[in-house]
Amino acid sequence: MKILAIVGSLRTDSYNRQLALLAKEAVGGRADFELLEYADIPYMNEDIEFPAPEAVARVREAVKSADGVWFFTPEYNHFFPGVLKNLIDWLSRPVGDAERQVLFGKPAAISGVSSGMGGTVCAQDHLVTLLSLLNMRVMNVPRLTIPNAGQQLDGDGKLALTSSKKYLERQADAFIRFLGD
Ligand code: FNR
């Protein structure tokens, strides 16, 4: 089984990227877990849509070959970031005449960590709306929202998830089951 992790932040030390790496640990040997790198895809522009730019073809293939997609999103102004919307806009377009867009019917899990009090709840709600429009099979229970990232760091400033780790582990267990349904 293969899980593709999509992180909605391009920041090198992103808490959400760190959360994805902790999720990989929580999944352990039960599935392959790959982080999608997509900083090189261009802005969606229908002038350059066909043939698909190489970076876009690459991310589509990564999604196609995954059994499920696990999103890790920051919250920017109560929304998920524009880089993630841009990626999903590319993924949402049909690959060819006979093929559906690559997100159609794929299982999806959603987690997020923010430095604010909301823990990405608003961003996740907007993301669910978009993923549902694209007919992904969203696992709504459990979702994982982690507020106040600054309070869960180790001495080196890395995300330690002191109080939230068990919820991440529960979500990993649930997503593995969801993928098997
Ligand atoms: C933020 N941040 C933020 N936090 C929050 O809880 N609610 C919000 O609406 C916002 N809005 C917001 C807008 C913009 C433009 C930025 C850059 C940041 C703070 C955010 O939670 C924090 O920067 C996280 O560390 C971003 O996630 P990564 O990059 O660490 O994964």
Indicate yes or no: pTM above 0.95: yes
Residue nearest to atom 23 of ligand 1 (CA): 115
pLDDT value of residue 149 = 96
Mutation probe of ligand 1 site: the residue of 12, 83, 114 with most atoms within 8 A of C-beta: 114
Whether the upstream peptide bond of residue 142 has omega within 30° of 0, thus cis, is: yes
- The Å distance, Cα 44 to ligand 1 centre, comes to 23
Average pLDDT, the chain: 96
Atom of ligand 1 nearest to the CA of 120: 6
Residue-range domains of the chain with CATH? 2-180 (3.40.50.360)
Burial classification of residue 34, based on how many CB atoms lie within 10 Å of its CB (0-12 exposed, 13-18 middle, 19 or more buried):
middle
12 lines ligand 1 (CB under 6 A): no
Name 93's Cβ contacts closer than 8 Å, sequence gap at least 6. 49, 101
Distance CA 83, CA 93 (A): 16
Identify which of 54, 48, 47, 22 has the alpha carbon closest to the alpha carbon of residue 35: 22
Q: What is the dihedral of CA 69, 74, 75, 79, to 10 degrees?
A: -30
Taking each helix axis from N to C terminus, what angle separates 54-64 and 82-91, rounded to the nearest 10 degrees? 80
- The Å distance, Cα 114 to ligand 1 centre, comes to 6
Mutation probe of ligand 1 site: the residue of 6, 22, 73, 75 with most atoms within 8 A of C-beta: 75
Q: Report whether pLDDT(97) > 90.
A: no
Distance CA 113, CA 92 (A): 25
Q: Report whether pLDDT(96) > 80.
A: no
Q: Report whether pLDDT(27) > 90.
A: yes
